[in-house]
Amino acid sequence: MLRLNNYSNKILKNISFELRANQNLLILGSNGAGKSTLAKALCGITPSSVELFGRPLLSYTSKERTKLINYVPAKLEIFDEYITLGEYLDLSRLHTLLESKNLLRLLSLEHLKNKPCQQLSSGEQQLTMLATAVLHNAKITIFDEPTANLDPNKTQDVFSLLKSGLFQSKIIITHDLTLAYRLGYDVLFIKKGEVDFFGSSEEFFSSSTLELYFGSSVKRVEEFLVVDF
């Protein structure tokens, strides 16, 4: 479905991996490791040698690419100070039959429908970007820090959304190890611009691997991963 072979740029070094159809992936790593840089390469924001469904990504037209892959950034940037949440979601509806009004209800955002996007809180903006991803409905959706700035209740809502059938295949960049652990997807760990681990969730979240990457700073408590202060 998706393949990257020996890709390098100023930050990344010889990145190679392959995702099967309907496979989900977590991209983990420390700050500055190259996670977001990799995400932008995967969806064609920066030129790369990515292959999607047996063809080079850049051989598809822009319209064809919108059906195949979508990147949801970590921060919402709206330059029109007047566009409302409802208007923005209507413009984001590309390849789904789901109506934006139904999605507003699903995410409990109905009361914000007529509020300008620039006036939304950081958490509300985060949910807005998730909503646009549902309405986009690409075959592969890349989420960059989908739970950033969210309170515990909204984080739980996002977890449920990611585990639902609303998305086809997901690539999720996150620092939230509990979210990553509970999602249970395969893990690609980037260290200093290189793939240092690519394998199953069970292997990555084993005690030995956690010790290798996080030392004594992270420990598992029942179904959760916590920072040990």
* pLDDT on residue 224: 78
For the question of whether the overall pTM of this predicted structure is more than 0.85, the answer is yes
Q: Which two tokens stand for residue 87?
A: 């208007």
CA distance 79 to 116: 11
Q: Where are the domains of the chain?
A: 2-227
For the domain made up of 2-227, give the CATH fold.
Rossmann fold (3.40.50)
* pLDDT on residue 81: 87
* pLDDT on residue 219: 82
Per residue of the chain (229 residues), what is the pLDDT tens digit?
Answer: 899 989 999 999 999 999 998 899 999 999 889 999 999 999 888 888 899 999 998 899 988 999 999 999 888 888 888 999 999 998 888 888 778 888 888 788 899 999 999 999 888 888 899 889 998 999 999 999 999 888 888 888 889 889 888 898 999 999 999 999 999 999 999 999 999 999 999 999 998 999 999 988 888 887 778 887 7
* pLDDT on residue 1: 87
